[in-house]
Structure 1
């Protein structure tokens, strides 16, 4: 049995990736959310808690990973971050593989991967969908978030591959700097085109 067409979905902060992921789900496309997988693995009774506690004592509790405590231990420490990623990434990969097996009959499966380019996750994908909007729209959206400051926003941007580079490396760019209806129409057209090229019985 041939596998589904696998598309990666990514985009910088404030570009509307979550909204596009929801549009895909509404069209019946299975979407694997890498961030949600991490939250599950690190939440109450999450399977990664013992390994994270062993590597970073005092960073977990009944509520799961204490994000601020763990963040303080890995922030600005590349070696500590590597240790954490070595625990988290293989577990997320296993969940993603299981998700793919579960949806093997679908014509299209989407992996929602926020740091797709930053972490080099594109190798096993048939296409990369980049969600993008003009910089002014992005800035307005992000600064409207609770607790966000221009300094925090600038720092987050400095850690992400620039939007222009993401668009250049994309198979398809989904423009969210337009109305929701126009974005939804782009997403529907793209899904229809992929399904047409990859029909399943």
Structure 2
């Protein structure tokens, strides 16, 4: 029980520290960097270096939170079950779900990495996050592309069906109008 309290306190302390970093420290460092411009070594490079490190820490924490949220959203999307779909659409949804399962696993893996590992391997981490974004975009583009083709085929089938019954409907409509005209009293 105590470990769970410690864990929650650690998360809360981390969130408070990141909030303090973003709301107080980073603005001060940006102001300090602007204030020391032109002063030269060693002050200017030190302030710029500290600002870069603080920005990296802030970005890493945001990425970690975003990855956790993305993994949660992907898991919900994968679990979505809509009955009564056509076989074609169901096959596309199944393919999208299986592709997104792999992405969700990658998100979970990236979100669980320690902050120190993120810091040390920030370039690799950034590349992997970009890869996740690109893979999701690609899968959604494929799904949308084939869905659009399916919609166009459905619209074409509907147009053909309407074209086949349109003359009959027009004939019935004309007969109704004539019947109504015959019932109109003469004045």
Report which of the two has the higher share of helix.
2
What is the TM-score of this pair, normalised by structure 2? 0.27
Q: Which has the higher strand share?
A: 1
Larger Rg: 2
Q: Which has the higher contact order (CA 8 A, sep 6+)?
A: 1
Structure-1-length-normalised TM-score: 0.25
